[in-house]
């Protein structure tokens, strides 16, 4: 039995009780949260979120990539969000690898060097600043007055504003 099988079983045994009660795709807080895919981050708990309140965009690192800009452009232009939180975290996997080492590893194994950036970083605060700047400078994201960046400490749940 795979993990997917397990989740399908959980679904049919009643975890998802009926269709979503939120009637609109527009998040009620008009806010998008960009964060890491790290399984330790309980995004809903970190901000006391309720279903339907925000867009949550997750990837490795919580880095603002072109694809995150794509989602933010849709989020703001079509679904009425107006603010952005970028939240990266301590002990992130991206701080344990380097751009070249990981690309070398992939190339050696597959004979293909990926065209995309790994977005590895040494200092998480620098990475947060970089991501926030990418949003603030993007012409595709029209609402850039309230774009704020944070580091979440996965050991003590402390949230520190960086920019
Ligand atoms: Zn991470």
- Residue 90 CA, ligand 1 centroid: distance in Å: 8
The reply to whether 92 sits in an annotated binding site is yes
Question: Nearest-CA neighbor of 124 among 102, 153, 156?
Answer: 153
21 CB-near residues (< 8 Å, 6+ apart): 51, 52
The reply to whether 36 sits in an annotated binding site is yes
The domains of the chain, with CATH numbers, are 24-162 (3.40.1050.10)
Dist CA 4 CA 6 (whole Å): 5
- Residue 109 CA, ligand 1 centroid: distance in Å: 24
* pTM of the predicted protein model: 0.95
The reply to whether 100 sits in an annotated binding site is no
Task: Render each residue's pLDDT in the chain as its tens digit; 163 residues.
Answer: 899 999 999 888 877 777 778 889 999 999 999 999 999 999 999 999 999 999 999 999 999 999 999 999 999 999 999 999 999 999 999 999 999 999 999 999 999 999 999 999 999 999 999 999 999 999 999 999 999 999 999 999 999 999 9
Show the tokens assigned to 41.
């981050």
Dist CA 38 CA 49 (whole Å): 18
């Amino acid at each position: 039995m795979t993990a997917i099988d397990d989740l399908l079983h959980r679904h049919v045994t009643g975890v998802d009780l009926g269709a979503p009660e939120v009637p609109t795709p527009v998040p009620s807080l008009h806010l998008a949260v960009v964060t890491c895919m790290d399984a330790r981050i309980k995004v809903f708990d970190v901000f006391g979120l309720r279903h339907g309140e925000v867009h949550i965009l997750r990837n490795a690192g919580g880095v603002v990539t072109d694809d995150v800009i794509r989602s933010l452009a849709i989020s703001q232009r079509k679904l009425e969000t107006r603010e952005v939180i970028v939240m990266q975290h301590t002990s992130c996997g991206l701080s344990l690898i380097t751009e070249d080492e990981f690309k070398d590893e992939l190339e050696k194994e597959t004979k293909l060097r990926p065209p995309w950036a790994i977005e590895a970083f040494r200092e998480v605060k620098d990475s947060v600043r970089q991501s926030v700047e990418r949003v603030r400078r993007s012409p595709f994201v029209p609402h850039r007055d309230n774009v704020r960046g944070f580091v979440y400490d996965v050991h003590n749940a402390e949230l520190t504003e960086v920019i």
